Amino acid sequence: MTPSSEGWRPCSDRSEERQDPLTGTAGYGERWFLVEIDGAWGTHAFLQSRLDPALGRRLVRRVEGEGMRPLAIRRTGRRADERRHQSRWRWAYVDARPGREEVRWGSVDDPEKLLEVPLDGTAGEPSTQPVVCVCTHARHDQCCAVKGRPVVSALAKALPEHTWECSHLGGDRFAATMIVFPHGLYYGRVLPEHAEDVVDRSRTGTIDARYFRGRSALPNVVQAAQGYARSASHDYRIDSFHPVSSSKDGDLWTVVLDHDGTAVTVCLAESLSEPMLSTCSASRAAPVRQFVLTSIATAA
């Protein structure tokens, strides 16, 4: 079905109806490069925006070549005349790797100079404040706009200095989606009335299990293992269940986690879901990978 088809429903509504699991679905990204790009974005924010397309392509190629993820950001509610006169281009370097979490902010007066910003974490001013990015990328998927905008509006009122709209994060079917840096905490199906609480919990070192998808710097299978371990123990600290090892035998995964000095072994079965239309623009149903818990064991 397409948006013009009779009986068509948004991907996030279909996902919620199917009760697609959130755990273990966070998009991968150890390090990120955020660029403030005011104004409208096309399907690809760096190629269809105020940035010159050739420059945007070079910037994306450079960032991804360093193993990082580029992300466009903008303030919500900014007036159109303010957007037309952007004179400085803010950027942020984010390291979301456990134990190395860091945000560094900088700016340039010419977008061409974004190509000169060191991507090794040595440039910019370090910040201890969270960076909250809510996907509102309407041209990528309408669910991100319809469900993301109420969330970002609520957060912009409560936490204006920390809140940004952002380009595609992945997992459109889980809109509203958001990520909290520097830890790279992915959330989905966030409700406007709970968004501030999600951020407040991260600032106290815990996750909000109602909406948590996983940490961006960890593989999906480890995200899933941590999710099951947290549910079993009711320990929702961000840094609990540090990954020690993971191995695969056929479709079975064994993930060992360190829980305050005690080894926790989580066994998962990897499988494929029933075929689904996972985005609003999808025209062909396809299965997605998922992890089902088979056992959890704590070392004596």
- Tallying the residues shown for the chain, one arrives at 300
Q: How confident is the model at residue 143 (pLDDT cuts 50, 70, 90)?
A: confident
- How far is Cα 134 from Cα 226, in angstroms, rounded to an integer? 23
Kindly state the helix (H) or strand (E) to which residue 270 belongs, with its residue range.
strand 262-272
Average pLDDT in the 180-191 region? 97
Q: Give residue 78's pLDDT.
A: 59
Strands 31-36 and 69-74, sheet pairing: parallel
Q: Give residue 15's pLDDT.
A: 81
Centre a 10 Å sphere on the Cβ of residue 32 and count the other Cβ atoms it contains.
24
pLDDT per position as a tens digit, 36-78:
999 889 989 999 999 999 999 999 999 999 999 999 999 986 5
% the chain with pLDDT above 70: 92
pTM of the predicted protein model: 0.93
Least confident among 2-6, 71-75, 106-110: 2-6
pLDDT per position as a tens digit, 283-292:
788 888 999 9
Q: Give residue 6's pLDDT.
A: 47
Among the listed residues 208, 188, 73, 213, the one whose alpha carbon sits nearest the alpha carbon of residue 131: 73
pLDDT over threshold 90, residue 16: no
Residue whose structure tokens are 């123990």:
233
Strands 178-181 and 131-135, sheet pairing: antiparallel
Average pLDDT in the 189-200 region? 96
- How far is Cα 2 from Cα 79, in angstroms, rounded to an integer? 33
Beta strands across the sheet bearing 131-135: 125-127, 102-108, 89-95, 31-36, 69-74, 163-166, 131-135, 178-181, 185-187, 212-215
Contact 136, 76 (CB under 8 A): yes
Q: Give residue 84's pLDDT.
A: 52
Q: How confident is the model at residue 1 (pLDDT cuts 50, 70, 90)?
A: very low
By 3-state DSSP, what share of the chain in percent is helix, strand and coil, each rounded to 5? 25, 30, 45
- The domain segmentation of the chain, as residue ranges, is 31-203, 220-298
pLDDT per position as a tens digit, 232-283:
999 999 999 999 999 999 999 999 999 999 999 999 999 998 887 777 676 7
Centre a 10 Å sphere on the Cβ of residue 127 and count the other Cβ atoms it contains.
15
